[in-house]
Amino acid sequence: MNLRIPGPTPLPPEVLAAVSQQMISHRSGEYRALHQEVASGVQKFFQTKNDVFFFTSSGTGTMEAAVVNTLSPGDRALGVTMGVFGDRFMDVAKAHGIDLTILRFPMGQAADPEKVAEAFAKIENCKAILITHNETSTAIANDLAAITKAIRERAEVASFVIPSPAQGGVNSVEGSLASKTATCARYYFDFAHMKKYHDKHETPETPAISTLYALQAALKIMLKRGVKETFRYYEGLSLYTRTVLMQNGFTLFGDQTHASNTVTALLVPESLPAGRQGLTDEDFRGTLKKKYGLILSGGKGEMKGKIVRIAHMGSVSREDIDKAVEAMVKARNELQ
């Protein structure tokens, strides 16, 4: 099976072996050593000295944790969205009573830094900007450096609230200070509560120990390769994927100057064989899975049925991409 979706992703052998380790007590010295080592590794990889909190949830949980620990009901915030997960972030904020002004960009485009800055400047006493960095639903990444620069040229901003990909968290000085005054209801996602346990190298509730084992192994691989080298690897793999797809006649979706380094989106191949209305997303991905063992993701929201997404994150090589594209070409030709 060739799993090429934007999460969950294939794991390298070292990580698979780590996941299979026996459980330990989360209140033991053995666990505290694991917690401390993994937290230190995450700090090194993300080049931060700030605390790293571990809690078990999907990426959506990190969105909620970010909101409830930095904002209070009635606070004004700017929400920037250009995809399904940006929309979800807005829904989370609205569920907690945030007075949200939403700036929406078309799917397939990145947020325009100047327009974001203009929108922010118009909101009196704006406490935060909520934005996704890597929008996997459209395979487009926002230029956060450019957005930050444009905003700070106009005004000071209290904080950016940026959910990382899955298994992530929000860790910033501004966020830590805001957590002390934020009044959104919270229990499981309370950073202040997490901090008390984190200082003892523990978590308030039972952690996903197997996931920490996996993260420990993954960090060793990435830190051995080097942080910059790891980012360069996936940047190069993204360019390679897009190039191979175009060379084989596929049409990429979205503004490629802001292409994600983790997933690529392409339009569903057009085909009009006799007696049919055209090649559908279900035709294409269904054939790939059934005949070639290749699993791709479809579009979400308004792009459902219109695009196909192929991921190049996790344990993946150029050879894996070559095999995937070869299967895609065969399936397309067979369905024409």
Q: Residues, the chain, total?
A: 336
Q: What is the pLDDT of residues 183-204, one digit of tens each?
A: 999 999 999 999 999 999 999 9
Question: By three-state DSSP, how is residue 101 classified?
Answer: strand
Instruction: Please tell me the distance from the alpha carbon of residue 63 to that of residue 87, in angstroms, as a whole number.
Output: 11
What pLDDT is stored for residue 162 in this prediction? 60
Instruction: Please tell me the distance from the alpha carbon of residue 107 to that of residue 308, in angstroms, as a whole number.
Output: 14
Q: What is the pLDDT of residues 108-162, one digit of tens each?
A: 999 999 999 999 999 999 999 999 999 999 999 999 999 999 998 887 665 665 6
Strand partners, 78: 101, 129
Closest to 234 (Cα-Cα) out of 175, 136, 139, 312: 312
Known binding residues are 309
Instruction: Please tell me the distance from the alpha carbon of residue 134 to that of residue 144, in angstroms, as a whole number.
Output: 10
CATH architecture of 13-222: 3-Layer(aba) Sandwich (3.40)
Quick one: how many helices (H) and strands (E) in the chain? 12, 11
Containing 312, the helix (H) or strand (E) segment is none
Closest to 336 (Cα-Cα) out of 266, 265, 287: 287
β-pair type (307-311, 297-298): antiparallel
Instruction: Please tell me the distance from the alpha carbon of residue 90 to that of residue 63, in angstroms, as a whole number.
Output: 9
pLDDT at 179 over 60: yes
With beta carbons less than 8 A apart as the criterion, state whether 204 and 36 touch.
no
Q: In the β-sheet with 99-104, what is the strand arrangement from edge to edge?
A: 99-104, 76-81, 126-131, 160-161
For residue 200 the two structure tokens come to 């003892």
- Domain edges within the chain: 13-222, 226-335
Give how far Cα 301 sits from Cα of 141, 193, 253, 265, Å: 18, 36, 15, 14
Secondary structure of the chain: what % helix, strand, coil (to 5)? 45, 10, 40
**CATH number, domain 226-335, options 1.10.10.60, 3.40.605.10, 3.90.1150.10, 3.30.413.10:** 3.90.1150.10
Q: What is the pLDDT of residues 200-233, one digit of tens each?
A: 999 999 999 999 999 999 999 999 999 999 999 9
User: What is the band of 176 on the pLDDT scale with cuts at 50, 70, 90?
Assistant: low
Instruction: Please tell me the distance from the alpha carbon of residue 125 to that of residue 75, in angstroms, as a whole number.
Output: 8
Give how far Cα 114 sits from Cα of 119, 188, 258, 336, Å: 9, 37, 16, 44
What pLDDT is stored for residue 172 in this prediction? 31
With beta carbons less than 8 A apart as the criterion, state whether 160 and 148 touch.
yes
Q: What is the pLDDT of residues 295-307, one digit of tens each?
A: 999 999 999 999 9
Strand partners, 135: 140
Q: How many CA atoms lie within 13 A of 261 on its CB side?
A: 11
Instruction: Please tell me the distance from the alpha carbon of residue 35 to that of residue 45, in angstroms, as a whole number.
Output: 15
What pLDDT is stored for residue 169 in this prediction? 29
pLDDT at 166 over 60: no
What pLDDT is stored for residue 274 in this prediction? 42
Known binding residues for substrate are 309
Q: What percent of the chain has pLDDT over 70?
A: 91
Give how far Cα 180 sits from Cα of 177, 184, 192, Å: 6, 11, 7
Q: Tell me which of 92-96, 164-168, 326-330 is least confident.
A: 164-168
| pTM for the predicted model, two decimal places | 0.91
